[in-house]
Amino acid sequence: MEVQAPHARTRAISCGAFLPANQPGAVAGTVHNTNTLLGHNGFVGVKTGSTAAAGGCFAFRAIRWIDGKWTTITGVVLGQPGHNQIAAGLAAADAMVDRIAGHSRRQVRAMPDLRQRDVSP
Per-residue pLDDT, 92? 95
Span 12-39, average pLDDT: 65
Q: Which residues contact 111 (CB under 8 A, 6 or more apart)?
A: 5, 6, 42, 44, 62, 63, 64, 65, 70, 119
Enumerate the domain spans of the chain. Answer: 35-112
pLDDT, one tens digit per residue, over 34-63 is 888 988 989 998 999 999 999 999 999 999
Span 78-106, average pLDDT: 87
**If you average pLDDT over every residue of the chain, what do you get?**
75
